[in-house]
Amino acid sequence: MSSPSYEPRSDVDLSVPSAARAYDYFLDGAHNFAVDRAFADQVLDIAPSVPAVAKLNRSFLRRVVKFCLDQGIRQFLDLGSGIPTVGNVHEIAQQVDPASRVVYVDYEPVAYAHARQLLSGNPFATIVQADIRDPGTILDHPETRRLIDFSEPVALLMVGVLLFISDEDRPGELVGRYRELLAPGSFLAISHIASEEAGPELQAEVARLVGAYAAADEHVYVRTREEILGWFDERTSLVEPGLVCLPDWRPDNPSEASSPARLLGYGGVARVD
Ligand SMILES: C[S@@+](CC[C@H](N)C(=O)[O-])C[C@H]1O[C@@H](n2cnc3c(N)ncnc32)[C@H](O)[C@@H]1O
């Protein structure tokens, strides 16, 4: 069976808001345009918790990278990396070991362009513009091959990205296709939006958020903890504390524990056996 082909978008269309650039705006980043801010402001009106969730997610990513570095990992494949803003994976990793290697992947032209600019002159970090639904292109890409040695442990980061993958595109199988290439001792990190533990007001916010993204032709899928848990297969072991609300994963900032947005996302990391 042949895989569908997913051509990365090559155009920067400033008349259409982008999820990546709106996310950058929610993180107080500078890589967004008027069309993105207008869209983000509409989202804020109907779902004011979104920037808090974005920040909790980014903070989870930072702790995951530090955890992986502590476990001796020096290779990172970051799928759906977004626009490089402060506290990026390569900054954290290369602070600990300047020879840490990082391959970012995003299909968004502005994320790609900014990352290229930011990473020029960095021999150990790069970005590949590709759709994560096309693992072959990413894994065979010369830049991935240049920096990642799949015979050694790798941290595979799927943080805040699988919410953009529809059920038809089978996110669990997709995770599996990357997972099967990872050497024992690798780590797989996933975070995802959720709302099942939240009260009715927050659930309504999430439903309105999904509607707003759909209207902008950027579909967001909310999943249950059980569904996300199913993407970690039997050949991986979740590290403590398992798949939990984002600020509960190896917390290092007590103020996040009381964030009202804490119930709107799960994160977990598994070791590849
Ligand atoms: C919410 S941001 C997450 C950024 C970063 N991983 C983090 O957690 O802070 C999601 C990113 O995934 C990218 N993305 C969504 N679907 C994608 C796909 N199918 N292939 C590649 N990138 C994708 C978007 O362009 C966006 O930059």
Reported as a single tens digit per residue, the pLDDT across 161-198 is 999 999 999 999 999 999 999 999 999 999 999 999 99
Query: pLDDT value at position 3?
Result: 44
pLDDT score of 10: 57
Q: What residue ranges of the chain have pLDDT lower than 70?
A: 1-11, 86
- Does the domain spanning 56-194+224-272 belong to CATH 3.40.50.150? yes
Measured between its terminal Cα atoms, the distance across the chain in Å is 29
Q: Which ligand 1 atom lies nearest to the CA of residue 60?
A: 8
Whether 88 is in the pocket of ligand 1, judged by its Cβ within 6 Å, is no
Whole-angstrom distance, CA of residue 228 vs CA of residue 230: 5
Closest of 75, 98, 102 to residue 89, by C-alpha: 102
Q: Other CB atoms closer than 10 Å to residue 167's CB: what's the count?
A: 10
Q: How many Å lie between the centroid of ligand 1 and the Cα of residue 203? A: 23
